[in-house]
Amino acid sequence: MLGWHLARREQPLRGGQTRAVATGMLLALVAGAFLLVLSGENPLDVYTTMADAAFGSSRGWSTTLGRAVPLGLAGLAVAVAGSMGLWNIGAEGQIIAGAIFGAWVARLLPDANGFVLITVMLIGSVLGGGLLALIPAITRARLGVNEIITTLMLNEIIIRVVRYLVNGPWKDPNSAGFPQAPPLPAQAALPTLFGRANIGVLIAAGVLAGFGFYASRSKWGYELRLAGSSEKTAEYAGISLRRKILTVLTLSGAIAGLAGGIELTGSSSRLVEGVANGWGFAGIIVAALALMRPSGVAAVAIAFGAVQVGGLAIQVSGVPASIANILQALILFGALIAGVFGQYRPVRTRTTSSVTAAAA
């Protein structure tokens, strides 16, 4: 009998990351076209509307980039941990923790100069996300507790913390019953670049580029990749895995916390329950599509931001908003499948049936 199995390629296909994302996009568009036809829509018109909304004007670009900022930082946070074979599923909670610490700084320094206030708020956000990630980092490094479980559980805890704050001690007395904190000081708003994009775009771009450059050129980055590929080899080379786990997971949380600070000082302008807006979970998809490589996170984040902006735009014309969510899922599966075949190749094998073996 003939069968198939996957064998690892001696050399991965060139351009594997770009190929995987492009293939995923193509498969998603083709499959999405069938869904649109079945729902009575013209795929060409829908895709044109989505592209025009995301990239057809400066306003569209600003909206797309605004969404790409939290997606990119959350994706980078997950990718940083993934570079060492760790999974940070708590980026959502770390974004919230960053926003909480940023709002706390604003309450302590309401009359500070705008530049000083924004800077200290963002630093506080970084500390907030890093401190929340430090808990699973310690339990993983010292006790061997699976970081997937601890980071996921902390999401629920920090969600309840922010819910308590905006419904209790930090509740805005003028909110007319809505669970939200008072507005931030006017000088705490990030300056605008153009349209709806603020300098958070530049901050996120700097973090992505800076980390990518440092991780690819430094000894620390080399040790990180070595520890992620083989723990035994890393230990033989004298690399402390405990220290690396503590550093990487804490750094991952700090980056996610920065996303919370930018969201707070950018689009939110006050602390609310939904300040994370699902960016942390979406960041897992972004990191997976980028194959856990910081170099690809920015491009994937922009693509996903465009899909989200386009999805909102087609709702106006009566197209179900779920189509955009389905497209995102299809892009993920398509890219992951392409990524697998970039590393592995199908091999045809001949197997002996049980009947033939028994007769022999």
What is the Cα–Cα distance from 220 to 205, expressed in whole angstroms? 21
Mean pLDDT, the chain, integer: 86
**Which runs of E-coded beta strand occur in 195-249?**
197-198
Q: Are 205 and 298 in contact (CB under 8 A)?
A: yes
For 128-177, how does the pLDDT look when each residue is reduced to its tens digit (9 = 90+)?
999 999 999 999 999 999 999 999 999 999 999 999 999 999 999 888 77
| Amino acid type, 64 | T
Is the model's pLDDT at 264 over the cut of 90? yes
d(C-alpha 118, C-alpha 4), whole Å: 57
CA distance 267 to 3: 54
Residue 355 scores a pLDDT above 80 = no
Read off the pLDDT of residues 24-43 as tens digits, 9 standing for 90 and up. 778 778 888 888 888 888 88
Average pLDDT over residues 339-354: 68
> Contact, 65 vs 197, CB < 8 A?
yes
* Predicted pLDDT of residue 128: 97
- Distance, in Å, from the CA atom of 129 to the CA atom of 132, rounded to the nearest integer, reads 5
| pLDDT higher than 90, residue 83 | no
pLDDT of res. 2: 57
Per domain, the residue ranges of the chain are: 69-292
pLDDT tens sequence across 289-322: 887 888 789 988 998 888 888 888 887 777 776 7
Cα separation, 64 vs 298, whole angstroms? 12
- Residue 189 in tokens: 């708003």
Distance CA 236, CA 84 (A): 16
Q: Concatenated DSSP letters for 215-255?
A: HHHSHHHHHHHHHHH-HHHHHHTT--HHHHHHHHHHHHHHH
Q: Distance between CA 65 and CA 70 in Å, rounded?
A: 9
Residue 89's SS3 state is coil
Cα gap 347→351, rounded to integer Å: 12
Q: Do 297 and 91 form a contact (C-beta atoms < 8 A)?
A: no
Do 285 and 92 touch, CB atoms closer than 8 A? no
pTM for this model (two decimals): 0.88
* Residue 83 or residue 170, greater confidence: 170
Q: Considering only CA atoms, which of 334, 273, 336 is closest in space to residue 25?
A: 334
What pLDDT score was predicted for residue 1?
Answer: 54
